[in-house]
Amino acid sequence: MTAPAAARPALFALYAFNLEIARAPFVTREAMIAQIRLRWWADAVAEIYEGRPPRRHEVVEPLAAAIAAHGLPRALFDGMIEARALDIDPDALAGRPMLDRYIAHTAGHLMELAARVLGAPERALPVVRDYAQGAGLAAWLRARPELAARGRPGPAVDPGTLARDGLDLIARARARRAEVPRAAAPALLAGVLAAPRLARAARGEEMELPEVRARATLLLRGLSGRW
C-alpha cells in the first residue's frame, strides 16, 4: 500500500467495513438473514456516531477509531449500507439511474472516505467522485457475469455504453488531477486498472488484462502516484 503508515489503520478499517457489508447479501440465500446482517452494521455505525462504546468486533473498533480521528461523515457509511441492501433483491437495480446511484454509494462513498482519511479537501471531492464512479462502473462490469450467475444480473444496459461512460468520467477526473493533493492519491490508485479494462470493454473485448501488464501498471502508477 502506498499510503502513509499513519493512515493505514484507518484505511484498512474502511476497506474491511466495505468487505463486510458487500458480502452480507451473498453469504446466504435467505433475504431476511442478509437484512439482519446489514442491520447489525447499520446499528454498529449508529452507535459510534451516538458516542456509545463501539461493539467488540475486529472491524467495528478500528472503524470507530478512524471515524473519530478523521471526522468522517456518517451519511457516507449509511449510504453504503443502504446501497448494499439492493444486492438482496435480484430486481432492485432495475435501470441505469439505479445502477449509477448504487455505484455512487458503494465505490464512490468508499473512495471518498479513503480520500478524506488522506486529507483531501472539500474542493477535491467532486474529482474523487467522478473517478470513483468510472472505476465503479469498471468493477461492476467486470463482476457482471458472476452477479448474473448468482441471479443478480442488474439492468439490461449495453456494456459498451457503460464502458465509454466510465472512460469519460475517468478522463474528466484526470483533467482536474491538480485539484487532488498528492497525499490523497493512494485513495484513487485503487482504481488504476479501471481505464484499461474499460477501454477493452468499449472495444467489445474481454476486460481482463494480461497479468504482466496489470502488475506493471500497478507498480508504475504506485511509484509515480499518478492515478
Could you tell me if 10 and 70 are in contact, meaning their C-beta atoms sit under 8 angstroms apart? yes
**What is the per-residue pLDDT across 124-179, written as a single tens digit (0 to 9) for each?**
999 999 999 999 999 999 999 999 998 888 999 999 999 999 999 999 999 999 99
Model pLDDT, residue 89: 92
**What is the per-residue pLDDT across 187-221, written as a single tens digit (0 to 9) for each?**
999 999 999 999 999 999 999 999 999 999 999 99
Q: What are the distances in angstroms from CA 189 to CA 104, 194, 211, 227? A: 17, 10, 17, 5
87: pLDDT strictly greater than 90: yes
Decide: residue 224, CB within 10 A, 0-12 exposed, 13-18 middle, 19+ buried.
Answer: exposed
CATH number at residue 198: 1.10.600.10
Domain of residue 49: give its range.
5-224
Mean pLDDT over 65-69 rounds to: 98
The total of structural domains in the chain comes to 1
User: Residue 94 and residue 176: Cα distance in Å, rounded?
Assistant: 32
Mean pLDDT over 46-64 rounds to: 98
Model pLDDT, residue 1: 62
Closest CA to 2 of 164, 114, 154, 146: 114
Mean pLDDT over 40-51 rounds to: 99
How would residue 70 be classed by pLDDT, with cut points 50, 70 and 90?
very high
Model pLDDT, residue 127: 99
Could you tell me if 207 and 155 are in contact, meaning their C-beta atoms sit under 8 angstroms apart? no
Model pLDDT, residue 72: 99
Model pLDDT, residue 151: 87
Which residues, 6 or more positions from 172, have their beta carbon under 8 angstroms from its beta carbon? Answer: 130
Amino acid at 159: P
Q: How many CB atoms lie within 10 A of CB 157?
A: 16
Q: What share of the chain has pLDDT > 70, as a percent?
A: 100
Decide: residue 47, CB within 10 A, 0-12 exposed, 13-18 middle, 19+ buried.
Answer: middle
